[in-house]
């Protein structure tokens, strides 16, 4: 007869593995700054950006700008979102955050009120092999976006960063840390709420 050495009295929860208290999300506060607003998501077609878009639409924004350089990902995401949320306007913006002319056009024409910036090169081994590409995209592109948000007086700018930026030991982490520092510096002198 098999006798278990131990028995689990309940299912294991994600909170058991966190090593910290769980965060409580204030959905009322989020709704206050997303509802009926023009929201732009850079890197909208990526894994983080598309997941964020699926969450943003539940707060009933007026319009969502799906900004990405990958047309297929944005195309399929926009079809998915249009089917589920026909009352929300979706705009597909194909381009690169390094393109200042495009950013000027997008910010002046669509007038986004909230920007979620997820567009970044994130794969550590690839960025170790391509530090110039990582710097151009993650630092220069992000800086362009931060300056545009400030210039066009966006209400809120949310930078999606990474734990790799806390104590950077690789190219990707360093690029994200540099942009965090630029964002913090701009936040001190801007009406835009940089987060």
Residue positions annotated with a catalytic role:
164
**For the chain, where are the E strands, in sequence order?**
38-42, 63-68, 89-94, 114-117, 156-159, 193-194
Q: Contacts from 53-58 at CB under 8 Å and sequence distance 24+?
A: 53/77, 53/81, 54/81, 56/116, 57/81, 57/84, 57/85, 57/88
Pairing of strands 114-117, 89-94: unpaired
Cα-based torsion angle of the residue sequence 53, 56, 61, 67 in order, rounded to the nearest 10 degrees: -30
Cα(first)–Cα(last) distance of the chain, in Å? 59
């Amino acid at each position: 007869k098999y006798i278990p050495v131990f028995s689990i009295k309940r299912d294991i929860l994600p909170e058991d593995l966190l090593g910290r208290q769980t965060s409580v999300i204030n959905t009322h506060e989020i709704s206050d700054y997303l509802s009926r607003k023009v929201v732009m998501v850079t890197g909208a077609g990526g894994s983080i950006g598309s997941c964020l878009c699926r969450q943003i639409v539940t707060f009933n924004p007026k319009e969502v700008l799906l900004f990405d350089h990958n047309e297929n990902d944005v195309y399929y995401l926009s079809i998915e979102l249009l089917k589920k949320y026909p009352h929300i306007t979706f705009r597909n913006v194909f381009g690169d955050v390094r393109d200042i002319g495009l950013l000027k056009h997008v910010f002046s024409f669509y007038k986004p009120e909230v920007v979620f910036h997820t567009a970044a090169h994130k794969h550590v081994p690839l960025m170790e092999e391509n530090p110039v590409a990582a710097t151009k995209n993650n630092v220069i592109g992000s800086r362009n976006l931060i300056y545009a948000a400030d210039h066009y007086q966006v209400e809120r700018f949310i930078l999606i960063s990474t734990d790799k930026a806390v104590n950077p030991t690789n190219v990707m982490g360093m690029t994200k840390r540099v942009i965090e520092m630029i964002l913090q510096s701009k936040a001190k002198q801007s009406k835009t709420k940089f987060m």
